[in-house]
Amino acid sequence: MGKINQHIEKLLAYHDYVVVPGLGGFVVQMQSASIFADRIIAPLASVGFNPLMHHADGLLAIEIARSEGITYRKAMEIIESEVESIKDELAASKSYQFGNLGLLSQNENGAIIFVPSSRIGFLPGNIGLIDLYVSERQLNTNSGSRKISFVLPTARTFRYAAAAALLFGMLMISPQVNDVKRTDSADLVSLSAFKPMNVNPSSEIISSCPQLVRTELANGMIQNNDSDLYHVVVASLPTRQSAENYCQTLKSENFECAHVLSPIKSYRVSIQSFVDRDEAIRYMENLRKSDSRFETAWVLCK
């Protein structure tokens, strides 16, 4: 029991929904931020369940076959066996804990009801978001008024102060202007010194790109190992052409490992991929500090 739970959670981090043949579909849902008197609740990505989604798109079976190193047919047999076990558990105890996703239960009419977990940490939409608590504004109940006085300088005082400031400035600046040595050594500074530095941190962290392996499955579909890597994402673009053009720009700037990830509503551009999560995070942090163009870069985890 529970073999398909981890695969469903992994797929929901990349896709909007996952269909479990014979059971239903798990769908990612976004909840907007809520504002209350004492706090602001952050936006939340949750998971819903639709028992009417029975059409098998093969996504779950392909993921199980790839992760477990088995055939597509064997993966379908595992799914069918676990779905039958889940239904038996629901019929016997009326409830089933579906991993970190939530609780499945069955009412008197045999309909399946799903209660999601309050916080689902494996969804990218929930990373780094916390509720913000604010203190109530304290109103001043003192009915008495306070008198505030301003003393402005006279015109004569102002003229004396301006003259003193001018004299002080001349004394401080004149020695530098009349310094022959400083004048002889003066030179124009190249405007390139004022351009932001473009540092490529990839040369400091890694020396090669992780190999992207393309695999042809039994059903003719082509898969690669993008989902096994940790990607530093720097852009999310609406079309593949715009994403490919941006990749070419990055490669011309010595980011040789830039490539377009599998699309999910948009085309995300990975500037560098890693097999180790900590290396990906260190690369992202150095990239943010070294180049202001990538200050919003983030790591797409498995």
Predicted pLDDT of residue 31: 74
Q: Between residues 92 and 119, which one has the greater pLDDT?
A: 92
3-state secondary structure of 271: strand
pLDDT, tens digit (0-9, with 9 covering 90-100), for 260-301: 888 877 888 999 999 888 998 999 999 999 988 888 888 887
Q: What is the mean pLDDT of residues 68-78?
A: 91
| Number of Cβ atoms within 10 Å of the Cβ of 300 | 19
Predicted confidence (pLDDT) per residue in 196-245, tens digit: 444 444 434 344 677 666 666 676 665 666 778 889 999 888 888 988 99
Rounded-to-10 torsion of CA 84, 6, 10, 89:
30
Pairwise CA distance, residues 134 & 111, whole Å: 42
Residue 251 burial (C-beta neighbours within 10 Å; 0-12, 13-18, 19+) = middle
- Look at residue 128 and tell me if it is in a domain: yes
Domain boundary among 104, 133, 162: 133
CA pair distance 129, 114, nearest whole angstrom: 24
Q: How many domains does the chain have?
A: 2
Shared-domain flag, residues 103 and 206? no
pLDDT value at residue 184: 41
Residues 13 and 118 in one domain: yes
Does the residue 178 lie in any domain? no
Cβ neighbours of residue 270 closer than 8 Å, sequence gap 6 or more: 231, 232, 233, 234, 257, 258, 259, 260, 261, 300
Same domain, 129 and 13: yes
Cα separation, 124 vs 43, in Å, equals 12
**With 0-12 CB in 10 A as exposed, 13-18 as middle and 19+ as buried, what is 257?**
buried
Residues 127 and 209 grouped into a single domain: no
Closest CA to 117 of 131, 95, 98: 98
Mean pLDDT, rounded, for 176-205: 41
Q: How far apart are CA 273 and CA 232, in angstroms?
A: 6
Token representation of residue 52: 């009417």
Q: Is residue 182 part of a domain?
A: no
Q: Does 117 map to a domain?
A: yes
Could you list the residue range(s) of the whole structural domain that residue 252 is in? 202-300
- The model's confidence at residue 153, banded by pLDDT at 50, 70 and 90, is low
How confident is the model at residue 182, as a pLDDT?
41
Dist CA 48 CA 27 (whole Å): 5
pLDDT of 71 reads 93
In a domain, 192, yes or no: no
Q: Is residue 22 within 8 Å of residue 82, measured between CB atoms?
A: no
Residue 143 within a domain = no
Domain membership of residue 290 (yes or no) is yes
Distance between CA atoms of residues 153 and 162, nearest Å: 12
Structure tokens at 288: 């943010």
Of 126, 130, 62, the closest CA to residue 301 belongs to: 126
In a domain, 184, yes or no: no
Q: Are residues 34 and 114 in the same domain?
A: yes
End-of-domain residue from the set 110, 133, 156: 133
Q: Is the pTM here over 0.85, yes or no?
A: no
Percentage of the chain exceeding pLDDT 90: 10
pLDDT the model gives residue 270: 92
Q: Give the per-residue pLDDT at 145.
A: 57
Dihedral of alpha carbons 258, 262, 264, 266, sign: positive
**Average pLDDT of the chain?**
75
User: Is residue 190 pLDDT above 60, yes or no?
Assistant: no
pLDDT at 207: 41
Question: Which of 133, 153, 171 is the last residue in one of the domains?
Answer: 133
**Residues 99 and 213 placed together within one structural domain of the fold:** no
> Quick one: pLDDT at residue 180?
39
3-state helix, strand, coil split of the chain in percent (to 5) is: 40, 25, 40
Q: How far is CA 162 from CA 101, 167, 169, 171, in A?
A: 72, 9, 11, 14
At residue 233, the pLDDT reads 92
Q: What is the CATH number of the domain that holds 234?
A: 3.30.70.1070
pLDDT of residue 16: 83
Is a pLDDT exceeding 50 seen at residue 183? no
